[in-house]
Amino acid sequence: QVQLVESGGGVIQPGRSLTLSCTASGFTLNHYGMHWVRQAPGKGLESVAHIYYDGSNEFYTNSVRGRFNISRDNDKNTLYLHMSSLRVEDTAVYYCARDRIPGGSYQAAFWGQGTLVTVSS
């Protein structure tokens, strides 16, 4: 059974760094494209980052490009989001999600339950 479990969220001061983890089970991580999507409190969904199944390409939304980095450890079957120079507006629940089919697809079909990041002084 496909399962994604995010961890690493918490309260962090502006300007600091934080790394989120997404531990996958029930499938092999390096067969699937993976996503990070966030949701600010009471707001809608925002796609943040995407990595191809083979790690050959990474994509970022404009507001985080240069500050966030998506990566994966295939041996640990874990996806990461390293966030630096954090801003108050980065406060959100961060979800990781998996592509619907291996090799890449146009849908994020399986989602974790999210981890809350609060950026506040």
Which 79-98 residues touch other proteins, going by CB under 8 A?
95, 97
Binding residue count for other proteins, defined by CB under 8 A: 24
Does the footprint of other proteins cover residue 114 (CB under 8 A)? Answer: yes
The least distance separating other proteins from the CB of residue 28, rounded to whole angstroms, comes to 20
Exactly one of 60, 67, 91, 118 binds other proteins (CB under 8 A); that residue is 60
Q: Return left, alpha or beta for 104; rule: phi > 0 is left, psi -120 to 50 is alpha, else beta.
A: left
List CB contacts of 107: < 8 A, sequence separation 6 or more. 99, 100
The least distance separating other proteins from the CB of residue 92, rounded to whole angstroms, comes to 13
Exactly one of 108, 115, 117, 119 binds other proteins (CB under 8 A); that residue is 108
Cα 9 from Cα 19, distance rounded (Å): 8
Which amino acid is present at 48? V
